Amino acid sequence: MNPDLVSVLRCPVCADRLALDGRTARCAQGHAYDLAKQGYLNLLPAASNGIEGDSAAMVGARTVFLGTGYYVAIRDALILAAGLGADDLVVEVGAGTGYYLAGVLGTSDRRRGIALDVSKYAARRAAKVDPRIASVVCDAWKELPVVDGSAQVVLNVFAPRNAKEMARILAPDGRLLVVTPNQQHLAELVDVLGMVSVDEDKERRLQDSLDGAFVRTGSEVVEETMSLDRTAVEQLVLMTPSARHLNYRDLLQQIAVLPEPTIVTLSVTLSTWRPQ
Ligand SMILES: C[S@@+](CC[C@H](N)C(=O)[O-])C[C@H]1O[C@@H](n2cnc3c(N)ncnc32)[C@H](O)[C@@H]1O
Ligand SMILES: [Zn+2]
């Protein structure tokens, strides 16, 4: 892990800056966190262990599905909206495999990223996705282990939104990019496969969750149709929260009778926010 990136991280116990000493990140108060052999740093306090992030199977499905490029339109929209300078820091909250973060960093060697996720399986992936990214395990509902005002861009893609903390870590002229699903998102699969549907109040909940800490500066719909074979449908379902409550054998039977390819709508809103 890049020592420069560790110096942007905060100790989860005392909020002092961390510094890398060999394979251990330490604060001045003597709290110490060993780098995992898979390359990520676990800054989740022991008392928080047991919070459920994405499972190994969900992260595996996400890696394959995103790697095939089905959501590249979302990634491209984020790259444009980020408008990064040559040496900016980007933090992704609930980063999963780091697919969007790595894309937004583009080709500049001097840009850096911090991938935050509560799932160790996701953190393992994000640690490998790009050498410019530091992968950190933490709980996005608690204080984020990142120094005040250090990020030029914060990404939040289908992930938990802790407005106060995301505003704290952003530079005053920084921007928050949020991707949320629209009602039509994956609509062709929701009923047939019993997936979790997007609630009608999603838009109001987005506004409520960020009000007070952020002002919206833009919003765009990213929409297209995807042509999915049955394997891709299976991976898509298994990477979503629906994976937690669906019976796998029933799911496979339902997928087996889908037409091939199945045409599925991708429909999300990318909104841009400035800290207030
Ligand atoms: C739907 S996935 C999205 C992942 C990634 N942004 C993407 O779109 O590929 C949600 C992610 O949030 C993570 N997550 C859930 N609860 C969290 C929490 N309390 N703190 C940090 N991450 C969390 C999950 O582990 C998962 O990786
Ligand atoms: Zn400390």
Q: How confident is the model at residue 208 (pLDDT cuts 50, 70, 90)?
A: confident
Q: Indicate which atom in ligand 1 lies nearest the CA of residue 119.
A: 25
Give ion ligand 2 contacts, CB < 5 A. 11, 13-14, 16, 27, 29, 31
Structure tokens at 86: 């040559």
| Whether residue 112 has pLDDT greater than 70 | yes
Tell me the domain boundaries of the chain.
3-275
List, for residues 46-58, the tens digit of each pLDDT value: 776 677 799 999 9
Q: Do strands 32-34 and 24-26 pair parallel, antiparallel, or not at all (unpaired)? A: antiparallel
Whether the predicted pLDDT of 264 surpasses 80: yes
Q: Which atom of ligand 1 is nearest to the CA of 53?
A: 25
Strands (E), the chain: 19-21, 24-26, 32-34, 41-42, 89-93, 112-117, 133-137, 151-157, 170-181, 214-228, 262-275
Which residue's CA is minimally distant from atom 11 of ligand 1? 94
Q: Is 140 in the pocket of ligand 1 (CB under 6 A)?
A: yes
Regarding the beta carbon of 174 and ligand 1, being less than 6 Å apart is answered: no
CATH tag, 3-275: 3.40.50.150
Residue 230: pLDDT band with limits 50, 70, 90: very high
Phi, psi (rounded to 5 degrees) for 74: -70, -45
Region 79-94: mean pLDDT is 96
Q: Is the CB of 54 under 6 A from ligand 1?
A: yes
Closest by Cα among 230, 247, 220 to 189: 230
Mutate to test the pocket of ligand 1, among 104, 158, 178, 209 (most ligand atoms within 8 A of CB): 158
| Nearest CA residue ID for atom 9, ligand 1 | 96
Q: Is the CB of 62 within 6 Å of ligand 1?
A: yes
The answer to whether residue 162 scores a pLDDT higher than 80 is yes
